[in-house]
Structure 1
Amino acid sequence: MAEVDSAQYPVDDCRPLKADACRYAATLLGLLLIALLHLNLSLDHWTLNFPEGDSFTALQFHLASLPRMVMALLVGAALGLSGSLLQQLTQNRLVSPMTLGAASGAWLGLLVASLAFPAFAAVQGHWAALAGALLSVGLVLLIAGRDGIAGLPVILAGMAMNLLLGALAIAVLILNQQQTRGLFIWGAGDLGQIDWSWVSWLWPKLLPGLLLLWLAPRALTLLKLGGTAAQGRGLNLWPALLTLFLASLWMTSAAITAVGLIGFIGLLAPNLAHLCGARTARDELLYSALLGMLVLLASDAMALLLSRWLGEQIPTGAVAALVGAPALLWLSRQQRAAETRQSLDLPRGRERCSGRTWWLLASATALTALLGLCLQLEPQGWQLAWPSDVLWSLRWPRLLSAAAAGTGLAVAGVLLQRLLHNPLASPDILGLSAGAALVVMISLLLFGQALFWLLAPIAALIGCLLVLATLVLLGRKQQYSPGLMVLVGMALAALLNTALQLALSQGSSDSLALLGWLAGSTYRVSALQACVLGVGVSLLIGLSLFWQRALDLLTAGDGIAHGRGLDVPATRLALLLLVALLCALVTSLVGPVSFLGLLAPHMAATLGARRVQQQLPLAALLGGLLMLLADAIGRNLIFPLQIPLGIVASILCGSYFILLLLHRRLS
C-alpha cells in the first residue's frame, strides 16, 4: 500500500504543472485566433494569405494593420503587468492604474504639456505623463495611508482624484478647443497606426517589464507575509516598494503616451488571471500580461468591427470600457459587506448649529448673489452698479439656475445619505449624475439639438432611475455598503467619460455643444428654463420637507421605522424617486456637477445640523452659496472668457474634499 501511495505523490505534484501548461496553451491559442481575426478585419475579405508587394492594400497591411496589432499586444501586456504588480503590492484586487488615479493623472499631465510645451511633449511626453501619474498616486496613497491601501479607502481616494483631475482636464479642453480638438480621439484611447514609429518608440520603454518578471516575484511573495515578516527575511521594504511602484507607473505612463487613455485592462487582466488559477507571484505577473494582450486585442478587434459597421471611427478605449465597466460591477459584488464603515466616515464637527451660523450663511448667500448681479467691467475697471436691462436679462437666469441647481443637488445628497446610511452617498459618487448625463448624451446624438431641451429632462430621469435600480439591485444583498456604492459610481463615471470621448472624437457641432453642457453651464440656460428649474426644485424640496419624520425613522434603522408603523419599502421607493427627479431636473438643464451633493450635506452636519429638520435647509443654503460662488468665479476669473460653472464647482468642492481626506489622515 505504501508503494502505491508513494507512486501517487509525483502524479499529484505534476497536476498543477499540467493545469498551468493547459491554461497557457489555451490562452496562446485564443490569442493567435484573435490576432488572425484582427488582421483580417483590416482587409475587405477573409484570407490567410496576407498581401505582399507594393500595392496599396499591401502597404496598408504592413504599415497600418500589423503595427496596430503589435501596439495592442505591447500596451495590453504593459497594462496587465502594471495592474498585477499594483494589486500584489497592495493586496487589493480593486487596485489598478485607473482606480489609483494614475491614468487620469498621466492624461492630465500629458494634456497640459501638449498645450504648454508642444515641442517637449512631442518628444518627451512620457515624462509629463509620469509626473502627472506620480503626483496623483502620491496623493491617493497619502490620503489612504498604510492601513487603507488594502481596503476601500484607497478606492475612494482614487475615485475622488479621478473626478477632480477629470474636471481639470475638461476645463483645459474647453479653454483650448481649437488646440485640443485633435486630442479628443487620443483621449478616448486610439490604437490606429500609420507606420512603425510609435511601436519602435514604445517597446524599448517597456523592457523594464521583463526585469520585473525576473526580479519582482521574490519581493512580492515576501510582501504577502506582511511588512514586518518581509523585513525579517531580508527584504529592504521601502526601496523595494518604491521601485516596484515606479516601474508600474512608468509602464502605464509610456502606454498612455503612445495610445491615450485605455482603462480597465489593468484591473480586469489580473483578476482574470487569479480566477484562472494563477497563484504564485511570477505566474500572476506573466499570465496577467498575457491576458492583457488578449483582452485588449479582442477589444480592438471589436472596435474595428464596429467602425466598419457604423462607418465611424470607434476608439479602442471606448470598447474596453464597455467591457470593463460591467466587469467592475461584477467585481464589486465580490466585496464583503463587512467592510467597515468607520474607515470611510468623514470627520464630525459641532454638536449644534447656532442661529449665528444661519445668519452668516444667509448673508453670505445674499451678498454673493448681489455681487454676481452687480459686478461688471467698465472702461475704468471693475465696478459695482445695478445692471442695465441687457445685463439683467442675461444674469438673473443664470443666478437663479445656479442657486436652484446647488440647492437641488444638496438636498438630493442629504436624502441619499439618510436613505442608504452612507456618509459618502451623493448623486455624483453613486453615478446618478453620470447615468443621467449618459442617457441625455445618447438622446442628443440620436435626435440632435432641435429636440434636446424637450427630451433632456425625460432622458435624464430615465438615466437616474436606471442607476437607482442598479444600486438597489446590487446593494440590497450587501446592505448598501459604502464600498459597493463607490464602485458602482466609478463604473458609471468611466462609461460616461468613454461616451464623452467617443462623441467628441466625431467633431460634429452637436458633440461640441455637448461639451459645454457636460461641463455644467448656466450661460446656456434661458429665462424660461431657469424659472422651470427654480419652481421644480422648490416643489421637490417642499416634498422632501414633508418626509422629514420618515427620514428620521429610516436613519434610525429599518427595524425601528417598521416598528413605528412606517411602510419602509414604499417610503424608500418614494424618496428614491424624489432623488431621481431632483437629479434629472438639475442635470438636464445645467449638466452634471461633481462633489457638491456630497460636501454640502457634510458641511451642514459639520456645522451642527445633525437632525433632518436642520440638515435639509442648511445643506440647501450651502449648496446654493457654493454654486453662486462658482458661477461668479467662472464668469470673472479669465474675463472675457468664461469657465463653466460645473467645472469651477467640481474643482472647488473636489479640492476641499481632497484636503478633508488629507486632514482626516494626518490628524
Structure 2
Amino acid sequence: MQAVATDTTPWKPAHLPGRYLVTLLALGVLAVLHLNLGMTHWPLDRWSLRPPPAGTFDALEFGLSVLPRLTMALLVGAALGLSGSVLQRMTQNRLASPMTLGAASGAWLGLTATAVLAPALAATHGHWAALGGALGAVGLALLIAGRNGSAGLPVILAGMALNLLLGAIATAILLVHNQHSRGLFIWGAGDLGQIDWHWVRWLWPKLLVGLVLIALAPRPLTLLQLGGAGARARGLSLWPVMLALFLACLWLTSVAITAVGLIGFIGLITPNLARLCGARTARDELLYSALLGALLLLGADAVTLVLNRWFSELIPSGAAAALIGAPALLWLSRRQLGAEDRQSLALPPGAERLDRRRLAWLLLAGTTVALLGLLLARGPQGWTFGWPSELLWSLRWPRLLAAVAAGCGLAVAGMMLQRLLRNPLASPDILGLTAGATLAVVAAVMLFGAGQMQLIAPVAAFGGSLLVLGLLLVFGRRHRYSPGIMVLVGVSLAALLNTALQIGLTRGQGDALALLGWLAGSTYRVEAGEAIVLSVAVVLLVGISLAFHRALTLVSIGDGVALSRGLDVGRARLALLLLVSLLCAVVTSLLGPVAFLGLLAPHMAALLGARRVVPQLLLAALLGGWLMLVSDWLGRSLLYPLEIPVGLVASILCGLYFLYLLIRHRVA
C-alpha cells in the first residue's frame, strides 16, 4: 500500500489571525450555550450571561457540575485533537487517529479490566493500565501493517479489527462482572458529567505533555514528511523521536479515557478540518487541531445536553460525538483515499484443492471435539466425563442445535458476501449488517415490549440488515465496491448504528437493559421450538444458496464474464444479497450479534483448499457450526458456574485467529 493522497481541493487558506479569531469567538458563543444548557432547572427564557446568585441551588450546580463539565470538554477535546494531528503527521495517513489505530479500544480494555479486577489499583493508577492497553493495541496494529502499510489502509483495517476484538473482550469482562456493568457501560460510552472539580484537577497537569508536543514536535514532524532517509540526513534520530511522539500521543489519549471514558472520532476529524481551514505548517496544524478538538467536543456535549433534556435520561457524551464523527469518517473514506488504497486484498495462500484425506481428518477432528464437548463437562463436583442426565440434556440440546445452526448460517452469509463483493474482508459484522439487524431488534423491543420479541425480531432484523446493505451498495458504487472502501463504509455505518444503540440502552428502560445478554450473542434461554425453527430456516436458506452456485461463481469472477455467459447480474446479485440478509436476520434475531465468524469460516475453508463455490460453502458451514459448538462449550466451562455468552467466545476466538492470519500474511 502506498501513502494516502496528500490533498484534494482544500478551502482557500484563511488569514491565520482571522481564522483563530473566528474559532475563538465560536468557542465563546458555544461555551455560553453549553453553560446554560447544563443548568437543568433553567427554562429557555431564563438563559443569561451571568452566573446564578451565590447561596442558591443553581449556584451550587453551576460551580460543581456545569463549570467542571465545560472545562473537562475543553481539556479532553484539545487532547484528542492534538493526539490525532500528531498521529496523522507521523503516519502521513489522513485516517489515522487513536480510534482507527485501536489505541482507544486498547486503553478502554486495559482500564476496564483493571477497574473490575483491581478497583483500588484502578482508582490510583488506572491511567497506566490505559496507557499499557493503548501501547499494546497500536503496537499490534503497526506490526500487522508493517512499515509500508502505516501510510495506507492496512494499518486502519488492522486497527478496526482490533477495535472489534478488544471491544468483545471488554464486553465479556463486563458481563461476567455484571454488578458493575451499567456504570462501566455508560463510562465506556464516554461521559463528561462531573459532580466536583476532582477529575479536572487530576487531568490538567497530565495534559501539559500537549504543550511540550506543540513546542518541540513541529520540526521532527516536518522532517518526517521528507521520508526516513531525508529526515536522518538532516540530523533526526528517527526511531527515538517517533517512539517519543507515539508515547506522548498515547499518553494524552490514555489519561483522557481514564477521566471521561471512550470518546472517538474527535482525533480523526479535527486534523482534517484544520487542513481544510488552511493549516499548512506542523505547528499551525497542531495548535489549530487542539482548538478545533475543544470546539467539536464542546459542541457534541451541547448536543448531549439537549438530548438529555429531550429524553430526560442520561445520554453519553461519546454517543453524540459519534453521531458527528461517523458521517465524517464516511466522507473522508470516500473523498481522501489514494487510488492505491482501493486495490483488492488477496486471500492468505493455502492449499490449491481440498483432497479427501484432508477432509477425512477434518471431519474426524470435528466429530471428536464435538463428542468431547458433549461428554466432558464441568459441574458442582468438578469435571465429569459421560453422557449428561436426561434433565440436563433436555436443557442443553436446544442451545447446541441453535449454536451450530447459527454458525452455519453466518459462515454461509460471509462466504456469499465475500464472493458477491469480491472482497475477502466482507462479513456481516464488519460491513455493519449485524449492527443494523441488532439496532432494529432493540428498537422494536423498546417500542412493543420484550414479550413480543419472538414475533417481531425476525422481521425487524431482516429490515435492519437490508437497510444497511442498501446503504453499502449506494456508498460503494462510486469506487466499484473496492475492499478497503467497503470495509471503511461498513465500519462507519456500524459505529453510527452502535451509537444509536447506546443511546437506547443508556435510557435505562427495563426491556432494553434485559437485552444486554442477548447483545453478546447468547444461547441461554433458547427453547427447543426456537432452535428447531432456526435450524430449518438455515437449512432452507443454505439449500437455496447452493442452487445459486453458478450465479455466485460467475459474479465472483466479474460482471463482464457473468454477462457474457447470459447471467442477469442485477437480479442475481439482488437475490443473493436478499439471501445474505435473511441469513443474518434469522441468526441475529435469536442469538444476537456474533463478530468475526462470517469472516473467518470462509477464510479457513479456502486455506484448506476449498476454492470453488460449492466446496467452500459446505466446508465454511461445517467450520462455522464447529466453531460455535466449541465456543458454547468454552463459554459454559471456563468460568463455571458463570457462563460467557457463546457469541462473545466465538468473537474472541475468531478475532484472535484473524489477527494471526494478518500477522502471518505480513511475515510472509
Structure 1 residues 293 and 432, CA, compared in 2 at 3 Å: closer, same or farther?
A: same
Amino acid at match of 1:541: V
User: Structure 1 CA distance, aligned partners of 2:401 and 2:299?
Assistant: 49
So what's the TM-score if we normalise by structure 2?
0.95
2:376 match:
375
> Where has structure 1 moved over 4 Å in runs of 4 or more?
15-18, 340-343, 377-381
Q: Does 1:22 align with 2:23?
A: no
User: Structure 2 CA distance, aligned partners of 1:381 and 1:638?
Assistant: 12
User: Structure 2 CA distance, aligned partners of 1:643 and 1:16?
Assistant: 55
Q: Provide Cα deviations, 1:105-141, integer angstroms capped at 9, x if missing partner.
A: 1011111111222112112211111111011111111
Per the TM alignment, residue 498 of structure 1 is displaced from its structure 2 partner at its CA by 3.1
Instruction: Give the alignment's Cα RMSD to 1 decimal.
Output: 1.7
For structure 1, list consecutive stretches of 5 or more residues without a partner in the other structure: 1-14
Per the TM alignment, residue 494 of structure 1 is displaced from its structure 2 partner at its CA by 2.2
CA contact (8 A) 2:472 2:490 kept: no
Structure 1 residues 429 and 379, CA, compared in 2 at 3 Å: closer, same or farther?
A: closer
So what's the TM-score if we normalise by structure 1?
0.95
CA contact (8 A) 2:344 2:423 kept: no
Q: Provide Cα deviations, 1:251-274, integer angstroms capped at 9, x if missing partner.
A: 000100010011111111111111
1:8 match:
none
CA contact (8 A) 1:364 1:625 kept: no
CA contact (8 A) 1:51 1:58 kept: yes
User: Structure 2 CA distance, aligned partners of 1:563 and 1:336?
Assistant: 33
Amino acid at match of 2:202: W
CA contact (8 A) 1:140 1:157 kept: yes
1:572-591 equivalences under 5 Å are 572-591=573-592
Structure 1 residues 18 and 599, CA, compared in 2 at 3 Å: closer, same or farther?
A: closer
Q: Provide Cα deviations, 1:25-64, integer angstroms capped at 9, x if missing partner.
A: 2111111111110011123021122213111111111111
Per the TM alignment, residue 512 of structure 1 is displaced from its structure 2 partner at its CA by 3.3
2:466 match:
465
1:62 match:
63
Structure 1 residues 150 and 18, CA, compared in 2 at 3 Å: closer, same or farther?
A: closer
1:6 match:
none
For structure 2, list consecutive stretches of 5 or more residues without a partner in the other structure: 1-10
User: Structure 2 CA distance, aligned partners of 1:202 and 1:77?
Assistant: 12
Structure 1 residues 561 and 20, CA, compared in 2 at 3 Å: closer, same or farther?
A: same
Per the TM alignment, residue 154 of structure 1 is displaced from its structure 2 partner at its CA by 0.4
Q: Does 1:662 align with 2:658?
A: no
2:440 match:
439
User: Structure 2 CA distance, aligned partners of 1:263 and 1:184?
Assistant: 15
Amino acid at match of 1:32: G
CA contact (8 A) 1:184 1:504 kept: no
Per the TM alignment, residue 215 of structure 1 is displaced from its structure 2 partner at its CA by 0.8
Amino acid at match of 1:364: A
Which deviates the most, 308-317 or 331-340?
Answer: 331-340
1:256 match:
257
Structure 1 residues 297 and 378, CA, compared in 2 at 3 Å: closer, same or farther?
A: closer
Structure 1 residues 638 and 16, CA, compared in 2 at 3 Å: closer, same or farther?
A: closer
User: Structure 2 CA distance, aligned partners of 1:189 and 1:380?
Assistant: 43
CA contact (8 A) 1:337 1:479 kept: no
Amino acid at match of 2:467: L
Q: Provide Cα deviations, 1:91-116, integer angstroms capped at 9, x if missing partner.
A: 10111000011111101111111122
Amino acid at match of 1:20: L
Amino acid at match of 1:571: A
Per the TM alignment, residue 368 of structure 1 is displaced from its structure 2 partner at its CA by 3.5
1:482 match:
483
2:556 match:
555
Q: Provide Cα deviations, 1:139-192, integer angstroms capped at 9, x if missing partner.
A: 111111110000000011001111110010010000001134322221111111
Per the TM alignment, residue 283 of structure 1 is displaced from its structure 2 partner at its CA by 1.1
1:509 match:
510
CA contact (8 A) 2:78 2:290 kept: yes
CA contact (8 A) 2:441 2:461 kept: yes
Amino acid at match of 2:476: G
Report the 3-state secondary structure (helix = DSSP H, G, I; strand = E; otherwise coil) of the residue aligned with 1:387: coil
CA contact (8 A) 1:71 1:191 kept: yes
Structure 1 residues 17 and 404, CA, compared in 2 at 3 Å: closer, same or farther?
A: closer
1:307 match:
308
1:10 match:
none
2:99 match:
98
1:385-396 equivalences under 5 Å are 385-396=386-397
Amino acid at match of 1:650: S
Report the 3-state secondary structure (helix = DSSP H, G, I; strand = E; otherwise coil) of the residue aligned with 1:63: helix
Amino acid at match of 1:25: L
Report the 3-state secondary structure (helix = DSSP H, G, I; strand = E; otherwise coil) of the residue aligned with 1:248: helix
Q: Does 1:41 align with 2:30?
A: no
1:271 match:
272
CA contact (8 A) 2:13 2:277 kept: no
How many residues align structurally? 653
Which deviates the most, 492-501 or 399-408?
Answer: 492-501
User: Structure 1 CA distance, aligned partners of 2:642 and 2:196?
Assistant: 40
Report the 3-state secondary structure (helix = DSSP H, G, I; strand = E; otherwise coil) of the residue aligned with 2:264: coil
Amino acid at match of 1:34: L
User: Structure 2 CA distance, aligned partners of 1:624 and 1:365?
Assistant: 10
Amino acid at match of 2:29: L
Report the 3-state secondary structure (helix = DSSP H, G, I; strand = E; otherwise coil) of the residue aligned with 2:360: helix
User: Structure 2 CA distance, aligned partners of 1:18 and 1:261?
Assistant: 33
CA contact (8 A) 1:361 1:622 kept: no
Report the 3-state secondary structure (helix = DSSP H, G, I; strand = E; otherwise coil) of the residue aligned with 2:384: strand
Report the 3-state secondary structure (helix = DSSP H, G, I; strand = E; otherwise coil) of the residue aligned with 1:134: helix
